[in-house]
Structure 1
Amino acid sequence: MCLAIPGKVVALDEATDMATVSVGNVKKDVSIALVEDVNLGDYLLIHVGYALNKISEEEAANTLKMFEEAGLTEADV
């Protein structure tokens, strides 16, 4: 089973197709090579270092809430 988690883009390096995403207090560098038109503030669905697609802020919040309810994240994420 694969698990992807939403992250908010907080920095971009378009020259290398990389972005820094924030999930709660954790920041992670991910490849954005598979997703077009990524901008600061976008929410991306990420899995093992790759952004899979963009999602809405509402969808990201709902997904993170479900992860929290399932005990997969900390409450402040």
Structure 2
Amino acid sequence: MCLAVPLMIKEINENEAVAEREGVSRKIRVDFIKEPKVGDYVMVHAGFAIEKVSAEQAMEDLAAAAEVEQVLKEMYEEEMAKRSGGEKSA
């Protein structure tokens, strides 16, 4: 399974860029993106921007990822509570 996450380009230097999500920056490659610009949202997989997306699409994807993260967290907490014989904490 492949996973790409939306990041916003903050700086560009030739085929390298700095992109950000929720205040966390990372270096990425933009070799596959036609005319990348500061402010563009791109889907990033394995350190490479693979597709430009709209700001709206990026926000939708981030919201969906947050929902999945919340469900996984709840499942984990329930499993740990079962294993310890206790109740799930609120």
TM range (shorter): 0.7 to 0.9
**Count of aligned residue pairs for this structure pair:** 70
Distance 1:30 1:36 in 2: 15
Paired residues for 1:53-72 under 5 Å: 53-71=51-69
Deviations 1:51-70 (A, max 9, x none): 00100000000000000011
**Structure 2 partner of 1:25:** 23
Distance 2:24 2:3 in 1: 17
Which of 32, 35, 41 is the equivalent residue of 2:33?
35
* Structure 1 runs (4+) greater than 2 angstroms displaced: none
Larger radius of gyration: 2
Distance 1:43 1:52 in 2: 11
Distance 1:26 1:51 in 2: 16
- Between the two proteins, what is the percent identity of the paired residues? 29
Q: CA RMSD in A?
A: 1.0
Alpha-carbon shift at residue 26 of structure 1 (Å): 1.1
The letter of the residue matching 2:38 is: L
TM-score of the superposition, structure 1-length normalised?
0.87
TM-score of the superposition, structure 2-length normalised?
0.75
Distance 1:48 1:29 in 2: 11
Deviations 1:12-43 (A, max 9, x none): 102xx011000112101000001111000000
Unaligned ranges ≥5, structure 1:
73-77
